[in-house]
Amino acid sequence: MPADDGRSSRYLVGLVGPCGSGKSTLIAALEARGYACRHIAQEHSYVKDMWKRITNPDVLIFLQASFAVSTARRKLNWNEADYLEQQRRLSHALANANLIVDTDSLPPDEVARRVLEFLER
């Protein structure tokens, strides 16, 4: 169900964060509310501002998750150096994010609630 004031259809929301931070889950929740979203795979790119070059969203949301939580959520077979490399690749997006949400201790519905509250302001 779209936001009542129609703001959801007026701008593009970009989502970045390390693997397992909850980007896909949040996109599903936002799109169900009428928001246009783009999952930006910045964590896999060597181009520091790819998020801006390719998508250039009106709003950039950064979902953060620790190495331990990311690995548990996605059953990832990687090491901490891989995670730290993703964090390095995400640093430009992190510095330019309009909203940063640490998802480690939050259930998906609470992440969505916080982001929707921010977007609907």
How many domains in the chain?
A: 1
Q: Are 114 and 63 in contact (CB under 8 A)?
A: no
* Paired residues of 61 in beta bridges: 15, 99
Per the DSSP assignment, residues forming a β-bridge with 38 are: 14
pLDDT band (50, 70, 90) for residue 4: very low
Q: Is 121 within a domain?
A: no
Q: What's the predicted TM-score (pTM) here? A: 0.87
Among residues 22, 7, 24, 109, the alpha carbon closest in space to that of 59 is found at: 7
- At 6, is the pLDDT very low, low, confident or very high (cuts 50, 70, 90)? low
User: Would residue 117 count as lying in a domain?
Assistant: no
Three-class SS of residue 117? helix
Q: Is residue 95 exposed (0-12), middle (13-18) or buried (19+ Cβ within 10 Å)?
A: exposed
Instruction: Give residue 8's pLDDT.
Output: 60
- pLDDT reading at 9 higher than 70: no
Any domain includes 61:
yes
In a domain, 56, yes or no: yes
In a domain, 93, yes or no: yes
pLDDT at residue number 119: 95
DSSP one-letter string for 37-104:
EEE--GGG-SSTTHIIIII--SEEEEEE--HHHHHHHHT----HHHHHHHHHHHHHHHHH-SEEEE-T
* Residue 30 structural domain: 8-109
Structural domain includes residue 19: yes
Q: Strand 12-16 relative to strand 59-64: parallel, antiparallel, unpaired? A: parallel
- For residue 101, is it within any domain? yes
Q: For residue 70, what is the domain's CATH number? A: 3.40.50.300
Residue 99 lies in a domain: yes
